[in-house]
Chains A and B, each alone.
Chain A
Amino acid sequence: MNILVIAEHNNQQLSSATYNTITAALQLGSTDIHLLVAGHECAPVAQQAVKINGVSTVLVADFSAYQHFLAENIAPLIRDIAQTHYSHILAPASTNGKDVLPRAAALLDIEPISEITSIISANTFTRPIYAGNAIATVTTNAPIIAMTVRGTAFDSALTSEENVATIETISIQHDKQLSSFVNEALSLADRPDLGSAKVVISGGRGMQNGENFALLEKIADKLDAAIGASRAAVDAGYVANDLQVGQTGKIVAPDLYIAVGISGAIQHLAGMKDSKIIVAINKDEEAPIFQIADYGLVGDLFEILPEIEQRL
């Protein structure tokens, strides 16, 4: 059983979700895992990739049209490679993976599976539906199984000091010229990554404005935490879109999740209810967030947050 894993990276660094996806590939029982690094001037990524335990070959497709991972160019590359001899194609269930993998599946005329959370057998998986209010067990008989993997549901693959995999150069080049990159506004990475942080502290509409998020940041500094937000806080412009946690935002499962001024709508819970410990701070004791919180503190966040900061 050969498995193709699609690496996610920014041409410099592999994303943490890629390591989780490799663990999923290992759970499928494969001894032959190939990691595709498609990008441009992405040699540093290949150097990280060859050290991941379980990966036997790193396929490097270095081409200018692959720089921004545009689906129109990457999907045919995946198709061409996958057709050779793979039983599964796995990608992280990130915005990149979700953009590219279904398109590659279309080119192979197969039906993809989105965001699996566990592996029951080589062709049977679970995945959440209805904002995580139900878990579906799905089976596929597709000739090649293409799926995205929820990072928080699988541990990170281990790495070695030595190179464990060999590098193979892929010379397939697709430049469909259907789309082009204009620009990007990337958030500053001055905090741990929201998707993999051990502690996340999130603010909701109760924060009232963006300036007040400084109250969360001071605590985050002390706990080495990532900052998250509810949709209401993002919609109101308090913080950037990439901080949204939930059904349509990021999925997180830290050791500690602190929800501040967040009511606990099902769409928000979908993104954080697998956290190990949940703390809720809300002035409304009836707020639904308390139903899933391990520790609930009823009160005014503007009094509580400075006190927490002081006592840490």
Chain B
Amino acid sequence: MKILVAVKRVVDYNVKVRVNADNSGIDLANTKMSINPFCEIAVEEALRLKEKGLADEVIVVSIGSRKCEEQLRYAMALGADRGILLETDSTPSSLYCAKLLSKMVEKENPGLIILGKQSIDSDNNQTGQILAGLCGIAQGTFASELTIEGGQAIVTREVDSGLQTLSLTLPAVITTDLRLNEPRYAKLPQIMKAKKKPLETLSAETLVAPFAPQVTTQRVDAPTQRKAGSKVANVEELINKLKNEAKVIS
């Protein structure tokens, strides 16, 4: 079985982002970029399935500019077998990404497609679900546990009320939650080795004719800042203020 993993290049999660001066977006000049943390978990899960003998190839795909090669190389340093860059200079919408990935599903015929549940930049949490819908296959979103048994994927999902376990027919789309696993680190020899692994570049526009995005961003604003509060000296003062100043307890 092949596993296809989608990885996105995003601002590193430690960076405190700033809205740019003309309110058109986020100021990304000279910002540290990394693999989206949820995508890293997706790569790790695919590698673990391969190590258990449940998969024989892990293919990583990224959509975006040439710079995404960095994230593909990183995923290959962790252990992915090969990478595919679907190159585009535009900012692709979730729907366009899902359509591109569905082409890859047609071409590679994977048993599992693993994506992060959301990317920490646009925070959409939708590409995996759209992909599963376009392909007409099962989806296991927000996964915190995944096993393959008798040709089914058994996936435990983190839901608002607790945990839910589903059994999915393969092929299936899985989107990862944070507690699915703890990703490994890439070691230097593997980073060197990854430079020689196959990385194919395809033109996104040739694969799926671009279409005008339906959802467009008009402007981006900084959130309203909370005004800094004050320190209280002790519990007595705290309770007194909550009762008489804030009036949130009685």
Contact = CB atoms under 8 A, between A and B. Distances in A.
Nearest to B157: A95
Given A98-B141, A134-B223, A106 B169 contact: no
Contacts of B13: 267
B88 interface: no
A276 to B, nearest CB: 7
Contacts of A94: 160
B123 A129 contact: yes
B214 A140 contact: yes
The SS class assigned to the A binding surface is: mixed
- Give the interface size bracket for B toward A: 35 or more
A293 B228 CA distance: 7
B205 interface: no
Interface residues of A, number: 89
A297 B235 contact: yes
Contacts of B177: 248
B129 A99 contact: yes
A19 B117 CA distance: 26
B49 interface: no
Contacts of B221: 134-135, 137
A238 to B, nearest CB: 13
Contacts of B169: 177-179
Given A95-B142, A98-B141, A182-B167, A111 B215 contact: yes
Nearest to B221: A135
A142 B95 CA distance: 12
A206 interface: no
Given A115-B123, A134-B26, A107 B133 contact: yes
Interface string B203-247: 000000000011111111111001011111011101101100010
Given A182-B166, A248-B118, A103 B239 contact: no
B236 A102 contact: no
A130 B27 CA distance: 12
A131 B121 CA distance: 7
Interface of B: 11, 13, 16-17, 19, 26, 93-95, 98, 117-118, 120-127, 129-134, 137-142, 144, 154, 157-169, 172, 177-179, 213-223, 226, 228-232, 234-236, 238-239, 241-242, 246, 248-249
